[in-house]
Structure 1
Amino acid sequence: MGSSTGMAAVLVGLCARDGTGLVGGDPVLCARVLGVDGVAVSLLPDGKGSEPVWATPGTGLRLEDLQFTLGQGPGIDTVASGSHTLEPDLDRVDPDRWPALLPELRTLRVRAVFCFPLLIGRVCLGVLTLHRRAPGPLDDTEMDDALILVGALVSMVLSNSPGQADLATSDDPSVLYRAAVHQATGMVSVQAGVPLPQALLLLRAHAYRYGRPVLDIAEDVVARRVHFRNSGAAGSEPDPSGGKGR
């Protein structure tokens, strides 16, 4: 499948809708057409925290979750700058740039990352992230196709506003909008007696310490399997019993 034919198939798939109204399309096909090993799209429904809504399974979603958990990475830089973040060889990136993320990416065997902002004027709606297991830049055709895809995604986000909920992940719709994370952050804020930003940091720190996705920890909090009653400024451990017997 040639590049033009392949990208056309990706765009047609993105616009296909089934009876549920979900956006169609195959992110694995998209990655193959773009000459990368994985692709992810994250949106910014509140202008702050990003939420992965369409991605190749495995590393694509894990990369997004790590950036959310650690609060650093190319996607976050892209949102902050409103411009592309293109790193064709992560071994050449200054270790101080993403000190917590880079070792994790080596473990995931991610060697190159390319992030593109989804912009309307100066407003960033989200980020398209591509990654490769081998170092090397995008060639001219791949770059052009990525920009075409960005334009299509921006149009789709605008057409789906204000909810933006018609985009879905390829393998786990529960990740959509990280509803559990938002709910858990509020619960932790009350339990630990801390502001919402600090509550989110507690969730992230707990996830990073135990090597689990933030979403998993959030779902444990919402299900009351983990309780942060004593995890405020003192930094004590969450209660895995859900606070029973207190």
Structure 2
Amino acid sequence: MADAFAAIVAAGEHDAPLQVCQVAVDALPFDGASITTMTDSHRQEPVCATNEAARRITELQFELGEGPDLDAHESGRPVHVLDLAELGEHHWPLFGHAVGGELARTLHALPLNTDGASLGTLCFHSATLEHLAVQDVANARRTADIATWAVLGVIAQEAPQQEIDRLQGRLQCWVKLHQAIGVISAQMQVEIETALTCLRAHAFVCDRRLSDVAHDVVIGTLRFDDGR
């Protein structure tokens, strides 16, 4: 892993964060991994995911406003969930129910710490109850350190227009989410945080994916004011 990580950081390519995740997944007892940058539960941006399950786990945490990534980011400490089935109803009840053991049984969220603050998180998942050896935990945390440098490297390289192109291409659904939040904020004349809460609530009550509700808002078939 050390040699592979060194080569990735030295090359400094745009998909370096994804390469870091893939190396770790290949070497450690995980089924997938994702990286998300964030400032709080209202402002998250997915950077990469190694598979669809990892991508959906990231999406669910944004949709529901709860989960291990958010706790790891806020606390600045790793969050290890050894068995999602044992979470109970009082800790991430919506997220635990949504994942339901189908996407993952274990989750390991590690903050991307830099200069005393968290840039975001690296989240590993497993579909089975894999036992992590002490060395596996150490390597997972080492991966988070490397991922931090990889993400910072991408941010430093990207010009504003390159960032826009990247978001519109690889992260189109998230661009639409942000557009929808802005539309709702203007319609209801509320803060962005309140607009996101309303979007989440509507998706939950109607049992729909947040991205689908956001699409309806953007094209104008769903409104959050008196014109709906």
TM > 0.5 between the two?
yes
* Residue pair 1:115, 1:128 contacting (<8 A) in 2 also: yes
SS at match of 1:203: helix
SS at match of 1:110: coil
Pairing 1:112–2:109 present: no
SS at match of 2:146: helix
Return the alpha-carbon distance in structure 1 between the equivalents of residues 206 and 6 of structure 2.
Answer: 39
Pairing 1:197–2:198 present: no
Q: Which of structures 1 and 2 has the bigger CA Rg?
A: 1
**Offset at residue 45 of structure 1 (A):** 5.8
Give CA-to-partner distance per residue, 1:86-121, whole Å, 9 cap, x none. Answer: 111222324201111111121524211101000013
Q: Name the stretch that deviates more: 150-159 or 28-37.
A: 28-37
Alignment of 1:55-74 (within 5 A): 55-74=49-68
* Residue pair 2:108, 2:124 contacting (<8 A) in 1 also: yes
SS at match of 1:194: coil
* Residue pair 2:12, 2:154 contacting (<8 A) in 1 also: no
The match for 1:224 is 220
Higher helix share: 2
From 107, 120, 129, give the equivalent of 1:135.
129
**Offset at residue 11 of structure 1 (A):** 5.8
2:170 counterpart letter in structure 1:
P
**Offset at residue 157 of structure 1 (A):** 2.6
**Offset at residue 10 of structure 1 (A):** 5.8
The match for 2:93 is 99
Give CA-to-partner distance per residue, 1:203-240, whole Å, 9 cap, x none. Answer: 11223334443233323322334332338xxxxxxx4x
The match for 2:19 is 25
2:199 counterpart letter in structure 1:
L
Gapped regions of structure 2 (runs ≥ 5): none
2:223 counterpart letter in structure 1:
H
How well do the aligned residues superpose, as a CA RMSD in angstroms? 3.1
Identity among equivalent positions (%) equals 26
The match for 1:215 is 211
Q: Could you tell me the TM-score, scaled by structure 2's length? A: 0.81
Pairing 1:36–2:33 present: no
Gapped regions of structure 1 (runs ≥ 5): 232-238, 240-246
Give CA-to-partner distance per residue, 1:37-57, whole Å, 9 cap, x none. Answer: 111100026795222111022
The match for 1:181 is 177
Q: Could you tell me the TM-score, scaled by structure 1's length? A: 0.76
Return the alpha-carbon distance in structure 1 between the equivalents of residues 93 and 37 of structure 2.
Answer: 24
Cα 1:75–1:217 shift into 2, 3 Å? same
